[in-house]
């Protein structure tokens, strides 16, 4: 009796009586009944306590001690004394038409909040992969409104299109939605259904032209902001083009040395150790053109470090003059890009938000894709991302 009481407490199921426990090397079967109580007929609402017969139902539960665990429920079928309707007694642990307990369903959904594959979750829950998929099909996420701060970015798609789009609220650290592509037509179809577009104050983005067009069309009250990471990257790409061009002129040993020192050259001067500075300085002495490009890079960081909008405008103007004097062709495209997006780049100095949170989500999506072997179904992929990030 003590063993049965302990098992009942372990199960944590309300109004359940444990009548027996069978187990072998692979599974545990717990025989249970629900404590008898009066029921009202679902047809005529008359009270009844008359049991017509019993039926047994085998129910999957959370694995215990590494063994598959089942509840063998001996459930009563009542008979209404007024209208003769037959119906089963109620229980709180088994959803209608289900063959697994509510807590097993919750356990599966809880494990799916991690970046595990469906196969891994099925093994942890001791159920089949199709069962995990069926449980997850009940999960649904719908974004009904837009926040005051809206961030938009893209990541490499899993099916159909090269890039898929992610929308986040960087202020509240929340993923809003995942869109199947970043194309203008898809973005228009998505955003036009929202009534509160005028409430968006900041629209944080990278330098993808369709994003700007969407912002100017649908978010007329919003300040468009280019994320700092994306315009800094333009400078680093230009610098890399110079480095690659210069190292081609060297003999093999020195060329390999320059290539292996790429990280130090890209690193900001202020973050270099004394030893690292000596390495960088020795490389810059070998190539005057690389030195000129390096100074351009560091000069741009002075602009990035500006304390306010006024100082930013001053430092950007100084960088334009410096780049004109340097005359390095690899920076021409970069200069054109910065100039074309200048207004929105400068807005980053009046907006406290970046795409940092969004980039962090993108990294988690990469892990999820790798663990889940791509998740080719976009609808399930979208739901899975939103489910993981909702945790």
Q: Give pLDDT tens digits for 299-324.
A: 999 999 999 999 999 999 999 999 99
% of residues, the chain, pLDDT over 90: 65
Task: Give the pLDDT confidence score for residue 373 in this predicted structure.
Answer: 67
Q: Which of 52-61, 245-254, 310-319 has the lowest mean pLDDT?
A: 245-254
Grade residue 6 by pLDDT with cuts at 50, 70 and 90. very low
Consecutive H or E run containing 140: none
Sheet holding 163-169, edge to edge: 174-179, 163-169, 149-156, 202-205, 223-226
Q: Quote the tokens at residue 282.
A: 């020795």
Q: How large is the greatest C-alpha to C-alpha distance in the chain, in angstroms?
A: 101
| Residue ranges of E strands in the chain | 16-23, 27-34, 39-40, 47-48, 51-64, 67-79, 86-88, 149-156, 163-169, 174-179, 202-205, 223-226
* Contact indicator for 21, 31 with CB cutoff of 8 Å: yes
CA distances from 156 to 1, 13, 121, 296, 378 (A): 59, 45, 25, 31, 13
- Determine the Cα–Cα distance for residues 125 and 105; give it in Å rounded to an integer: 9
Sequence-separated (6 or more) residues with CB below 8 Å from residue 341: 207, 226, 231
| CB half-sphere exposure, 314, CA atoms < 13 A | 7
- CATH 3.30.420.10 domain range(s) in the chain: 149-227+354-390
> Global pTM?
0.83
Consecutive H or E run containing 128: none
Residue 370, phi then psi, degrees to nearest 5: -65, -45
Q: What is the distance of C-alpha 157 from the center of its chain?
A: 13
- Determine the Cα–Cα distance for residues 161 and 57; give it in Å rounded to an integer: 46
Tell me which of 3.30.360.10, 3.40.50.300, 3.30.200.20, 3.30.420.10 is the CATH number of domain 149-227+354-390.
3.30.420.10
Grade residue 215 by pLDDT with cuts at 50, 70 and 90. very high
């Amino acid at each position: 009796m003590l063993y049965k009481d302990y098992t009942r407490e372990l199960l944590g199921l309300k109004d359940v009586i444990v009548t027996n426990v069978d187990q072998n090397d692979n599974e545990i079967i717990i025989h249970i009944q629900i404590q008898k109580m009066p029921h009202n007929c679902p047809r005529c609402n008359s009270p009844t306590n008359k049991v017509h017969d019993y039926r047994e139902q085998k129910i999957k539960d959370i694995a215990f001690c590494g063994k598959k665990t089942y509840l063998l429920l001996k459930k009563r079928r009542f008979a209404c004394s007024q209208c003769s309707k037959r119906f089963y007694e109620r229980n709180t642990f088994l959803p209608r038409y289900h063959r697994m307990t509510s807590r097993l369903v919750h356990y599966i959904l809880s494990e799916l909040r991690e970046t595990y594959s469906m196969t891994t979750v099925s093994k942890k829950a001791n159920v089949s992969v199709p069962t995990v998929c069926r449980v997850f099909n009940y999960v649904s996420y719908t974004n009904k409104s837009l926040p005051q701060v809206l961030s938009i970015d893209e990541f490499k798609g899993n099916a159909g299109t090269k890039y898929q789009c992610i929308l986040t609220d960087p202020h509240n650290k929340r993923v809003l939605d995942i869109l199947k592509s970043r194309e203008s037509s898809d973005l228009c179809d998505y955003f036009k259904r929202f009534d509160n577009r005028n409430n968006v104050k900041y629209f944080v983005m990278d330098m993808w032209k369709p994003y700007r067009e969407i912002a100017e069309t649908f978010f007329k009250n919003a300040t468009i902001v280019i994320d700092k990471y994306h315009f800094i990257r333009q400078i680093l790409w230009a610098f890399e083009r110079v480095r690659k061009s210069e190292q081609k002129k060297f003999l093999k040993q020195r060329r390999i040395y320059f290539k292996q020192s790429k990280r130090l050259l890209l690193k900001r001067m202020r973050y270099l150790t004394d030893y690292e500075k000596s390495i960088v300085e020795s490389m810059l002495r070998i190539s005057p053109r690389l030195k000129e490009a390096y100074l351009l890079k560091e000069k741009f960081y002075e602009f990035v470090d500006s304390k306010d909008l006024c100082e930013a405008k001053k430092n950007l103007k100084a960088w334009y003059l410096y780049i004109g004097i340097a005359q390095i062709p690899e920076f021409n495209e970069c200069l054109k890009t910065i100039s074309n997006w200048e207004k929105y780049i400068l807005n980053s100095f009046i907006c406290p938000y970046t795409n940092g949170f969004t980039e962090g989500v993108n990294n988690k999506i990469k892990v999820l894709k790798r663990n889940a072997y791509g998740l080719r179904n976009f609808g399930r992929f979208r739901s899975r991302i939103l489910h993981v990030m909702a945790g």
